[in-house]
């Protein structure tokens, strides 16, 4: 059955892939975005589709529309963008989430929250299961994002318990792929752009910190599976690729795959930068029958092709 689906943050990296997939599955999609960290360019190829609409709107203000389902993704996700205006970042996660939950309440519809592995902070438990409550500095430079997202989860669960709203909460781990902004400062896009330009590859710290990288198509599949799973399973559920790499390993891989002449240089590690991050995805495997399929090398090749195209 064709649904009319609202995707907030639909012009961002993940949102634009999600909009495309939902349209391909025969749905109508309304993308709401204020273009703070996303761009029309990400969804311009969807403009000819009569079932796609785009609205410029800041979700920190109420929104009155009629839809059947909401994916709430609006929020800058890269440290560079979310630190430009940390107060707005918290407002988006807190006031924006209240507005979207209010919309779900009025329409009696299901709403999915794109939460993040950042709610685990700099984890003392490794890999991180959903039951781990996290280690977050509430007053640090990443707090606007981490605590904003934690509060959004709190709101989701209070609306669920108190008002019986149908909720779904996913915790997304580092995701990469085409349509990341070349200047958003995230590690995969930074390294690929630097490598393609034969510029120095900037490792922050000694490169021993680790991350686990999930290719965008795998993530989008998991998000839709979560939305379509039974109402009893509300999450939170980790979505990510459990294969862990050090940042130095990633840099070497990207240099090799791009045949780059770049040298690796070492810069200061930002404050509160998590030392390690790896999802435990047993819950997603069990409840959603989901696990990522795309290996890092394969995903990096696709991402490198994209950046080659946009930088040429
Ligand atoms: P992104 O910055 O590319 O996309 C976010 C989108 O939200 C942008 O288009 C931006 O303009 C829009 N936006 C920001 N504030 C808004 C507001 N107040 N009103 C309306 N639109 C607003 O980031 P992304 O990587 O696509 O991330 C999407 C979501 O997934 C975010 O909520 C992020 O926290 C979450 N997430 C992403 C990752 C990742 O690795 N990319 C990891 C964990 C969680
Ligand atoms: N990083 C790096 N060089 C860069 C960009 C990032 O060494 O040019 C490091 C960063 O310090 C962090 C890791 O790569 O340890 C992942 O950073 P990103 O911002 O992509 O994601 P997050 O820290 O939010 O997981």
Domains of the chain: 4-175+215-242+275-292 (3.40.50.720)
Ligand 2 pocket, 186 CB below 6 A?
yes
pLDDT digits (tens, 9 = 90+) for 227-257: 999 999 999 999 999 999 999 999 999 999 9
List the structure tokens of 293: 């399929």
The pLDDT-based confidence of 272 (bands split at 50, 70, 90) is: confident
Q: What are phi and psi of 53, to 5 degrees?
A: -130, 150
CA distance 276 to 233: 28
CB 114 within 8 Å of CB 71: yes
The protein residue with its alpha carbon nearest to ligand 2, atom 3, reads 203
Geometric angle at alpha carbon 79, from 78 and 81, rounded to 5°: 70
**Which of 6, 8, 14, 177 for mutating ligand 1's site (highest number of atoms within 8 Å of CB)?**
14
Whether 145 is catalytic is yes
CA distance 297 to 294: 8
Res 271 pLDDT > 90: no
Provide, rounded to the nearest whole percent, the portion of the chain with pLDDT above 70.
100
Class of residue 165 by CB neighbours under 10 A (exposed 0-12, middle 13-18, buried 19+):
buried
C-alpha of residue 261 to centroid of ligand 1, in Å: 33
Return the percent helix, strand and coil in the chain, to nearest 5: 40, 20, 40
Catalytic residue of the set 145, 159, 176, 215: 145
List the structure tokens of 5: 């689906």
How many other C-beta atoms are found inside a 10 Å radius of the C-beta of residue 93? Answer: 31
The protein residue with its alpha carbon nearest to ligand 2, atom 19, reads 186
Q: What is the position in ligand 2's atom list of the atom closest to the CA of 117?
A: 25
pLDDT for res 303 = 98
Mean pLDDT to the nearest integer, 167-192: 96
User: Greater confidence, 270 or 216?
Assistant: 216
**Which of 77, 136, 184, 211 for mutating ligand 2's site (highest number of atoms within 8 Å of CB)?**
211
Res 51 pLDDT > 90: yes
C-alpha of residue 105 to centroid of ligand 2, in Å: 37
Res 274 pLDDT > 90: no
């Amino acid at each position: 059955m064709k649904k009319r689906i609202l995707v907030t943050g639909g012009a961002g990296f993940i949102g634009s892939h999600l909009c495309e997939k939902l349209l391909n599955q025969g749905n109508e999609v309304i993308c709401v975005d204020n273009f703070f960290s996303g761009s029309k360019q990400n969804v311009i190829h969807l403009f000819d589709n009569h079932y796609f609409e785009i609205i410029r709107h800041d979700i920190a203000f109420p929104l009155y529309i009629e839809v059947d389902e909401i994916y709430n993704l609006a929020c800058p996700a890269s440290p560079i963008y979310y630190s430009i205006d940390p107060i707005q970042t918290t407002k988006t996660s807190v006031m924006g989430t209240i507005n979207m939950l209010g919309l779900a309440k009025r329409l009696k519809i299901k709403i999915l929250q794109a939460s993040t592995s950042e709610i685990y902070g700099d984890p003392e438990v490794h890999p991180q299961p959903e039951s781990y409550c996290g280690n977050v500095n509430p007053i640090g430079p990443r707090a606007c994002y981490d605590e904003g997202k934690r509060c959004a989860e709190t709101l989701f669960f209070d609306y669920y318990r108190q008002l019986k709203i149908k909720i779904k909460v996913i915790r997304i781990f580092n995701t990469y792929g085409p349509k990341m902004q070349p200047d958003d400062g995230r590690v995969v896009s930074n390294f690929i752009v630097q490598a393609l330009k034969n510029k120095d590859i900037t490792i922050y710290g000694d490169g021993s910190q680790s991350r686990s990288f999930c290719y965008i198509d795998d993530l989008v599949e998991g998000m839709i599976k979560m939305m379509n799973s039974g109402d009893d399973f509300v999450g939170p559920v980790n979505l990510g690729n459990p294969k862990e790499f050090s940042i130095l390993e990633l840099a070497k891989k990207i240099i090799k795959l791009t045949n780059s002449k770049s040298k690796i240089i070492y810069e200061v590690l930002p404050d509160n930068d998590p030392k390690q991050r790896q999802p435990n995805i047993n819950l997603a495997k069990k409840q959603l029958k989901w696990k990522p399929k795309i290996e890092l090398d394969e995903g990096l090749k696709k991402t490198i092709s994209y950046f080659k195209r946009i930088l040429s």
